[in-house]
Amino acid sequence: MPGFEIFGDEEKKEVTDVLETGVLFRYGFEGTRNGHFKALEFEKKLCEITHAKYSHLCSSGTAALSISLAACGIGAGDEVIVPPFTFVATFEAIINAGAIPVFGEIDETLCLNPDKLEDIITSKTKAVVPVHMCGAMARIDEIKDVCTKKGLILIEDACQSLGATYQKKAIGTFGLAGCFSFDSVKTVTCGEGGGLITDSKTVYEKADQFADHGHDHLGGPDRGADDHPIIGTNFRISELNAAVGLAQLNKLDQILDIQKKNKHAIKDAMADLPEVGFRYLPDAKGDSATFLSFFLPTEARTRQVAKNLADNKVGCAYWYDNNWHYYKKWHHLKEMKRSAKLCVELADDLPDYKNLVLEDSDNIMKKTLSMQIMLSWTQEDIENRIQAIIKSFKG
């Protein structure tokens, strides 16, 4: 999964380009930047890869979510449906927008279940933010259908799924906006970074403004001459981060090829294990293959196999117990612990997060393990790993 495994001369070259000019800012300095616009180049490349019309590179995936919510007009009091299996950033961005996260159920895609959406849509629901977890897609066409039918905005959290596709269409391009993370452990890394894509000129312009203090970027060489059509904030990326990311993005095809090859070797070997079922992939060809996720028959057996795998040095993620990725351990959200009063607390009928129970999701996550697929594995590593996995299932 992590692009940092394959840092090389390409990243050094891009960073050196920037350091030689001393211009670390993505805007202006035309006279001294020697023609280098790394953030802009990254955005062009991201559009090429995803076939999105517009993209904006920013400081993090969380920022990309915040910018997208703002640019799509989602704010105070709006309900936004999200899955309970994600990274905390998804609901953080919603809460920080003043909006209210409402949790749906997941299905065997490990992503939001479109069949369970209509039950939780209210007159305040404004958007749905499915999360394409662990490198692969939700049932995104069905989720989109529900959004269209109900007049809801669709924003995809594709932070973990750069390079994934559904029926050959890039994940992230199904909604009004799609968000990616380029943090230090993602498929492509900028060190810290994020990006959003959209086909809407209006959303793009608002995003571009919001992420840079409202700058309309129309003032020419003098930034001070820009107007500020909206109140924004600073979610800018530096040219140094963009430079690392640009080199990485150029390696995306190579990264995906290695991941798919490594994942298939392990998956094929595990297919004979009678206890194992695999995560449902709506389009297996479009999996970016960052993780291999599988199900066991019971919670007890899942915990036992997880322990055996760890003992045999092929540890897997058991998300059900994870502090950051599953709602069970989000006590800070459940108790609305915060550093200052949040807009969301002003809502008259906040969901009862404290007593939230999502039975379908629990039943799936209790029995789910995920193995991260690494780029650096050798053939020998993979063979040893397969032996260790088989051994773990015997115990």
Ligand X SMILES: *Cc1c(COP(=O)(O)O)cnc(C)c1O
- Which residues are CB-neighbours of 296 under 8 A, at least 6 positions away? 275, 276, 277, 302, 305, 367, 369
- Asked if 157 interacts with ligand X (CB under 6 A), we say yes
Among 50, 62, 189, 288, binds ligand X (CB under 6 A): 62
Among 79, 183, 205, 362, binds ligand X (CB under 6 A): 183
- Asked if 241 interacts with ligand X (CB under 6 A), we say no
Q: 124 an active-site residue?
A: no
**Per annotation, catalytic residue among 38, 126, 144, 186:** 186
Report the nearest approach of ligand X to the CB of residue 247 (Å).
18
- Asked if 84 interacts with ligand X (CB under 6 A), we say no
Segment near ligand X (CB under 6 A); pick from 57-65, 106-114, 201-209, 361-369? 57-65
Site string for ligand X, 257-286 (x = CB under 6 A): ------------------------------
- Which residues are CB-neighbours of 361 under 8 A, at least 6 positions away? 83, 84, 85, 105, 106, 327
CA separation for the pair 39, 254 (Å, rounded): 21
Nearest residue (beta carbon) to ligand X? 61
- Asked if 90 interacts with ligand X (CB under 6 A), we say yes
Note the residue count of the chain. 395
- Asked if 146 interacts with ligand X (CB under 6 A), we say no
- Asked if 135 interacts with ligand X (CB under 6 A), we say no
Report the nearest approach of ligand X to the CB of residue 204 (Å).
20
Beta strand spans in the chain (E): 54-58, 79-82, 100-103, 125-128, 153-157, 165-166, 169-170, 177-181, 194-198, 277-278, 291-295, 368-372
Cβ atoms of 144 and 154 within 8 Å: the answer is: yes
Amino acid identity at 106:
I
- Asked if 61 interacts with ligand X (CB under 6 A), we say yes
Beta-strand relationship, 79-82 and 125-128: parallel
Which residues carry out catalysis?
A: 186
Where along the sequence are the contacts to ligand X (CB under 6 A)? Answer: 60-62, 86-87, 89-90, 131, 157, 159-160, 181, 183, 194
